[in-house]
Amino acid sequence: MTRLLAGLTAAVLLLTACSGQPESGGPIKLTVATFGEFGYEKLFDEYEKAHPGITVEGRVADFETHHRQLATGLGAGRGAADVVAIEEQYLPKFRQSKDKFTDLSEFGAQSLRENWPTWKWDQGTADGGKFVLGLGTDMGSLALCYRRDLFANAGLPTDREQVAALWPTWEKFAETGARFTAATPDVKFADSAGTIYTAMLNQGEENYFAKDGDRFVGDTNPNVRKAFELAGGMALKKETAAVTTFTQPWTVAIKQSRFAAITCPAWMLTQIEEAGGPELAGKWDVTSVPGGAGNWGGSFLTVPKQGAHRKEAYDLAAWLTAPGQQKRIFLESGLLPSAQGAYRDGAVLSHTSRYFSDAPVGKLFAASAEALRPNYRGLRDGEVRPVYGHALGRVEEGRQSLDDAWAQAATEGRAAAGK
């Protein structure tokens, strides 16, 4: 997914300033469409109490359905929610249809730009920063989740700093995977080649497209080839459990302790905990990812132009993405803030996870966020990215050699890019 502080005082002031009847004088219903849970339900109730005459309703769909429905609604000129979340990989595509969205500068969004690091703010803009398309919610700064007990069984260290020292690079990570698999052949090292590949890919400045002219370079970029071969090589050596993230087999594999490590953005910790259940509490831990930083996901709240209450929708989006709210969402739901005042807040930095062996998750993910450098996402990134994922899946399932899978992905990727 890719979801908190100019200060709590600022949040209270914003509530006070915006409370009262809407300017239109009548009741207003605002809809907020997200993919998955953004931790907004309690905030909706609070917002309604502070804004008499306004009711807020959430719409939740799965990732692909959500973005497909948004495209359909924009094309039809009706049906889109008043406030709509867009995940970062889809931003370039929807930025091309910015005429279908409200320029949030109309309502003063430019005054909020200091809430976010420059790269996050820039992601949500167009026309060289003049057009504000969306306000940042969370970001998916990366860490590495691992099973302490399974590492111990393999004769590997379990202390999170010592574990991080095992893999300063992805090559060392692969070597650790080989050591683990040799010691415990009945348990796989990682969940899938796909998560390893994605983490590596998202550490590069460019992957499938070049910043210069949005040219497709997925078949020539050495960073893409390196990630594909390292992740695919681990799959060929049967060091991965070959389970796709968030599917039922993935959930079962976690519960049955069939793998020991997974690259994890902040928002994934909740899914791991829900899959593992109370019996695995204290067996998981969190440490640094190879390379020290990275990003997997992050979203923005936008306001489609077709809405009847765009000013009120903007006010709601601005409040939901304010540092104070982002901080609360992290502490309650684990979605890492993208607002600087939130992820640098003492309560966030000192936050630990009892389930993950009291790991200092706030400090770990914030450190990753500070070191994060965004990568360029092309206009057709959403179409190209799955092609390479499917190719790795064929390797993992033993249906195709690594070289043949790469060749097919390169050909299909260029076609998906329209090049």
CATH code of residue 99: 3.40.190.10
Whether 9 shows a pLDDT value over 50: the answer reads: no
Residue 373 has pLDDT above 90, yes or no: no
Say what the pLDDT of residue 25 is.
Answer: 59
Decide if 406 is inside a domain. yes
Q: Is residue 305 part of a domain?
A: yes
More confident residue, 280 or 375: 280
Are both 224 and 366 inside the same structural domain?
yes
Q: Are residues 109 and 207 in the same domain?
A: no
Percent of the chain with pLDDT over 70: 94
Cα–Cα distance measured from residue 6 to residue 186, given in angstroms and rounded to the nearest whole number: 50
Q: Tell me what pLDDT residue 419 has.
A: 72
Q: Answer yes or no: do 318 and 374 share one domain.
A: no
| The pLDDT of residue 37 | 83
pLDDT in tens, 90-149: 998 899 999 999 999 999 999 999 999 998 999 999 999 999 999 999 988 899 999 999
Q: Are residues 341 and 382 in the same domain?
A: no
* Three-state secondary structure string covering the chain: CCCCCCCHHHHHHHHHHHCCCCCCCCCEEEEEEEECCCCCHHHHHHHHHHCCCEEEEEEEECHHHHHHHHHHHHHHCCCCCCEEEEEHHHHHHHHCCHHHECCHHHHCHHHHHHHCCHHHHHHCEEHHHCEECEEEEEEEEEEEEEEHHHHHHCCCCCCHHHHHHHCCCHHHHHHHHHHHHHHCCCCEEECCHHHHHHHHHCCCCECCECCCCCCECCCCCHHHHHHHHHHHHHHHCCCECCCCCCCHHHHHHHHCCCEEEEEEECCHHHHHHHHHCHHHCCCEEEECCCCCCCEEEEEEEECECCCCCHHHHHHHHHHHCCHHHHHHHHHHHCCCECCHHHHCCHHHHCCCECCCCCECHHHHHHHHHHHCCCCECCCCHHHHHHHHHHHHHHHHCCCCCHHHHHHHHHHHHHHHCCC
Nearest-5° Cα angle at 285, 284 to 288: 140
What are the Cα distances from residue 105, in Å, to 84, 130, 395? 17, 8, 47
pLDDT of 219 over the 50 cut: yes
Query: In this structure, are 27 and 175 located in the same domain?
Result: no
If asked whether residues 242 and 313 sit together in one domain, one would say no
- The residue-averaged pLDDT of 54-64 equals 94
**Is 1 contained in some domain?**
no
Residue 368: is its pLDDT beyond 70? Answer: yes
Q: How far apart are the first and last CA of the chain?
A: 29
Q: Is the pLDDT of residue 12 over 60?
A: no
Q: What are phi and psi of 241, to 5 degrees?
A: -85, -5
pLDDT confidence tier of residue 18, bands split at 50, 70 and 90? very low
Q: Does residue 3 fall inside a structural domain?
A: no
Averaged pLDDT for residues 186-208: 94
Q: Is the pLDDT of residue 16 over 70?
A: no
Query: Range of 333's domain?
Result: 8-139+297-349
pLDDT of residue 36: 82
Whether the pLDDT of residue 2 is over 80: the answer is no
Average pLDDT over residues 182-209: 94
Please report, for residues 62, 95, 123, 163, 333, the alpha-carbon distance to residue 288 in angstroms, rounded to integers and kept in the order given.
Answer: 29, 33, 25, 8, 21
Query: Of 173-177, 244-248, 265-269, 331-335, where does the model show the most confidence?
Result: 173-177
Question: If phi over 0 gives left and psi between -120 and 50 gives alpha, with beta otherwise, what is residue 85?
Answer: beta
Stretch 313-325: mean pLDDT: 98
Domain count, the chain: 2
Q: Are residues 322 and 290 in the same domain?
A: no
- Tell me the pLDDT band of 14, cut-offs 50, 70 and 90: very low
CB-CB contact of 144 with 263 (8 Å): yes
Inter-residue contact 369 to 220 (CB < 8 Å)? no
> Does one domain contain both 159 and 83?
no
Residue of 144 and 375 predicted with greater confidence: 144
* Whether residue 13 has pLDDT greater than 50: no
> Which whole number is the average pLDDT over 189-194?
97
Lowest mean pLDDT among 1-15, 199-213, 218-232, 313-327: 1-15
Q: Look at residue 21 and tell me whether its pLDDT is greater than 60.
A: no
- Which backbone phi and psi does 116 adopt, to 5 degrees? -120, 155
Return the pLDDT at 371.
Answer: 81
Torsions phi, psi of 401, nearest 5? -75, 160
What would the mean pLDDT of 166-182 be, rounded to a whole number? 97
Of residues 377 and 414, more confidently modeled? 414
- What digits encode the pLDDT tens for the residues 68-98? 999 999 999 999 999 999 998 899 889 999 9
Range in 92-101, 306-315, 367-376, 390-399 the model is least confident about: 367-376
Amino acid at 340: Q
pLDDT band (50, 70, 90) for residue 216: very high
Closest CA to 267 of 365, 200, 357: 365
Give pLDDT tens digits for 273-284: 999 999 999 999
Domain finish residue from 308, 325, 349: 349
- For residues 128 and 144, what is the distance between their CA atoms, to the nearest angstrom? 35
Are 279 and 309 members of one domain? no
Overall average pLDDT of the 50-68 stretch = 95
2 in a structural domain: no
pLDDT at 7: 35
User: Is 132 found in the same domain as 60?
Assistant: yes
Contact (Cβ atoms closer than 8 angstroms) between residue 2 and residue 140: yes
Which own/partner pairs from 252-259 qualify as long-range (CB within 8 Å, at least 24 positions apart)? 253/191, 254/191, 254/280, 255/280, 257/147, 257/150, 257/187, 258/187, 258/188, 259/187, 259/188, 259/189, 259/190, 259/191
Phi, psi for residue 411 in degrees, rounded to 5: -70, -50
Same domain flag for 256 and 191: yes
Region 213-220: mean pLDDT is 94
Name the residue with higher pLDDT: 163 or 295: 163
Same domain, 23 and 172: no
